[in-house]
Chains A and B, each alone.
Chain A
Amino acid sequence: MNLTTMNRSQVVSACLLSGALSASPLVYGQSAQHKGFIQASWQSASEYASWYERGASVNRFGAGDDRLNLSRAVLDSRFDLSSSWSAHSVVQYVPDPDSKVGFTELYAQYKPISKGAYQPQLRVGGFYPKMSLENPDIGWSSPYNYNYSALNAWLGEELRVFGLEASLKRSGKRLKTPSDHNWQWFVGVYKGNDPTGAVLSWRGFSSHDRQSVFNESLRLRPTAGFMSPQLSGQAWQIEPFTEIDGRFGYYIGAHWSYQNRHSLRAYWYDNNGDPAIVNYDTGQYAWDTKFWSLAYKFKITRQTHLIAQAMSGNTAMGRARGVDNDFDTQFVLLTHRWKKFRISGRIEQFQVKDLDHWTFDPNASDGGAITTTLKWRLTDSWRLGAEFQYLETKVANRADGNFPTRQIEQLWRVSGEYRF
């Protein structure tokens, strides 16, 4: 991780964490847990180069990438500082585009044991809001499909908060009159998520499992819009987690669960970006991005689970909201565990609607995908799996590069994983 490219809140959280970690053995004894995996994959490549190779494909592995590679490595660590406080870090490696290692999460958590029905909790640092039910595995991975839904692939690449999250949990079984309903309410205040929405606007939704690290810079294909004087301040890459306008963003959320069988998570996220502000040094705008997300999980049986999520929002940049887009996406996922196997199928759709009048910069895109995955847990440490994805995308600005706007892809992926 390059310190010079970290923004202020990232540096603060890293300092807080390293200070806490160095002090923890003195007060609480040795207490750390490290989990992780190393994954190798072969994926059939797209016809076009990947987006971060400035190509027109929305896949991680574009033309020429159909070879076995070390597709991901994750180190998910927990350091216990006291009974109530712990520090968490997730470091990930991805080979694309040029072997990147960095933090995807780094935060301190306050979670006291509580006698009563109400339990307050805090998280401070850089982390994901827990609005999704598709990514509960270590390193925010999906235990279901290799390539995340477009919805969560987008959260993985453009959304992270650097700030404070407070929550209050109400445990139904501990109420005086016990109840099967559990609640947890969240509020988050943060900085450093200003360019969120840019990748969605210029590339569109995608389905992959590449999560951006804290100091990420995502390259984009330079569309005709980038050549216009109106977008001359915009760099050809996006630094999604940087702070541009100095304003705080916020989110609120509620989790409801019933009998540990039905789970519902509703969130409203608003980065409160000032679209008129641009950092000319880095070429990054503050985008005004807000959306709601609704996630649902139903354990039909102990083995068969249904997961669904929907999101709808708006993102805009420029003094007069020259880029102004609505976006929405939904997926339904069905997964079944049988002995050491898990089979999962997901169907989804997504779209970005171009609302602005900058016709030189078309942002409209839409598409959908059907993904089926079989995973095999050979042992606790070794896992194998295969995935097939039918992916259809239509992105208006592909026409700039004389690419067909509609791409239909049938992608195979085989992955092997060592876990520790």
Chain B
Amino acid sequence: MQRQQQVKIPTKRNRKRRVLSALARVSLFTVLGATSVAAKAVTVKVTDEEGQPVNEAVVWFESSQLTKQSAITKLDYKMGQRDRAFTPHILVVPKGAQVSFPNYDSILHHVYSFSAAQPFEFKLYRDNPQALTFANTGVVELGCNIHDWMLGYILVVDSTHFAITNDKGVADVSLSKPVAQDVTIHVWHEGFADLDQPESIKMTTLKTNQTLTYQLNQSLFKPKEDFSDEFDDYE
């Protein structure tokens, strides 16, 4: 049995937002007696302005009370290239994590980024992966100098509590114990007008096994259908 409580919390408006939508709303679903939940996590559902679920939105929590889990930072993060596409399309890593770039294709990729957070370039041959430590937070947009249509993102966050929404718009962010003081929830999506500006909202408390709904306060650029094929590099 669940009792639903909805709380409206004003957000700080971003001047760069082109869409002046209604204030972001966070619905707090306080789960009572949810004994069946095994892993301790906060479920965040991200919706667009029309209330439709948003896939591939990145959600992370920042708080002075949240201790960073070094095990998460030491995980083996991979930004691969398969069939001339970055896989995953979006990778979230905590600050200080190392990311390797395995090339699963049989052809060379020339991966680069001009991002402020981590500019770099690699020529990636098959079976010769390179790795890089991402020491600064921010959005690292990836491109390939051989396959111009390839696009990927590494989001470096100052947190080890993060997740990406699934096609139902749901992200389960692990939280082993409740946070009793200010906590900031950040949401980022590649369809944002300004990729360097995640949306944020401050909350006073965050309980484990809590369910939230975050409604974006901007409309998203819709990605175009991908027509790329293996012969598009003949240019």
Q: Give chain B's interface secondary structure class.
A: loop
Q: Given A80-B123, A259-B224, A302-B227, do A136 and B234 touch, yes or no (CB 8 Å)?
A: yes
Q: Which residue of A lies closest to B143 (CB)?
A: A113
**How many B residues face the partner with a CB closer than 8 A?**
24
Q: Is A83 on the interface with B (CB-CB < 8 A)?
A: yes
Which residues A135-171 have CB closer than 8 A to chain B? 135-137, 143, 169, 171
Q: Is A33 on the interface with B (CB-CB < 8 A)?
A: yes
User: Contact at A113–B145, with CB atoms within 8 Å?
Assistant: yes
Which residues B160-190 have CB closer than 8 A to chain A? none
Binary A-proximity of B133-174 (CB < 8 A = 1, otherwise 0): 000000000010100110000000000000000000000000
Q: Which residue of B lies closest to A138 (CB)?
A: B107
Expressed in whole angstroms, the Cα–Cα distance for A72 and B180 within the complex equals: 72
Which residues A252-282 have CB closer than 8 A to chain B? 255, 259-261
Q: Is B228 on the interface with A (CB-CB < 8 A)?
A: yes
Q: Given A33-B108, A35-B107, do A130 and B125 touch, yes or no (CB 8 Å)?
A: no
User: Which residues from chain A contact B226 at a C-beta distance below 8 Å?
Assistant: 260, 302
User: Contact at A171–B227, with CB atoms within 8 Å?
Assistant: no
Q: Is B76 on the interface with A (CB-CB < 8 A)?
A: no
Binary A-proximity of B82-106 (CB < 8 A = 1, otherwise 0): 0000000000000000000000001
Q: Which residue of B lies closest to A167 (CB)?
A: B235
Q: Given A80-B123, A113-B110, do A137 and B231 touch, yes or no (CB 8 Å)?
A: yes
User: Which residues from chain A contact B143 at a C-beta distance below 8 Å?
Assistant: 113
Expressed in whole angstroms, the Cα–Cα distance for A180 and B223 within the complex equals: 12
User: Contact at A143–B231, with CB atoms within 8 Å?
Assistant: yes
Q: Given A31-B123, A33-B108, do A260 and B231 touch, yes or no (CB 8 Å)?
A: no
Q: Is A321 on the interface with B (CB-CB < 8 A)?
A: no
Q: Is A407 on the interface with B (CB-CB < 8 A)?
A: no
CB distance from B162 to the nearest CB of A (A): 27
Q: Is B192 on the interface with A (CB-CB < 8 A)?
A: no
User: Contact at B125–A171, with CB atoms within 8 Å?
Assistant: no
Q: Given A78-B108, A80-B123, A115-B114, do A260 and B232 touch, yes or no (CB 8 Å)?
A: yes
User: Contact at A259–B125, with CB atoms within 8 Å?
Assistant: no
User: Which residues from chain A contact B149 at a C-beta distance below 8 Å?
Assistant: 260
Q: Is B121 on the interface with A (CB-CB < 8 A)?
A: yes
Q: Is B112 on the interface with A (CB-CB < 8 A)?
A: yes
Which residues B206-235 have CB closer than 8 A to chain A? 224-229, 231-235
Q: Given A111-B145, A260-B149, do A31 and B227 touch, yes or no (CB 8 Å)?
A: no
CB distance from B62 to the nearest CB of A (A): 30
Q: Is A380 on the interface with B (CB-CB < 8 A)?
A: yes
CB distance from A24 to the nearest CB of B (A): 12
Expressed in whole angstroms, the Cα–Cα distance for A261 and B149 within the complex equals: 12
User: Contact at B106–A130, with CB atoms within 8 Å?
Assistant: no
Q: Given A78-B108, A130-B235, do A260 and B227 touch, yes or no (CB 8 Å)?
A: yes
Binary B-proximity of A301-333 (CB < 8 A = 1, otherwise 0): 010010000000000000000000000000000
Binary A-proximity of B115-141 (CB < 8 A = 1, otherwise 0): 000000101010000000000000000
Give 19 pairs: A residue, B residue, CB < 8 Å, sorted on A.
Answer: A31-B123, A33-B107, A33-B125, A80-B123, A111-B145, A113-B110, A113-B143, A130-B234, A130-B235, A136-B231, A136-B234, A143-B231, A171-B148, A260-B149, A260-B226, A299-B227, A302-B226, A302-B229, A305-B229
Beyond the given A33-B108, A80-B108, A299-B227, please list 6 additional residue pairs across the A-B interface where CB-CB is below 8 A: A31-B123, A83-B121, A113-B145, A135-B234, A255-B235, A259-B227
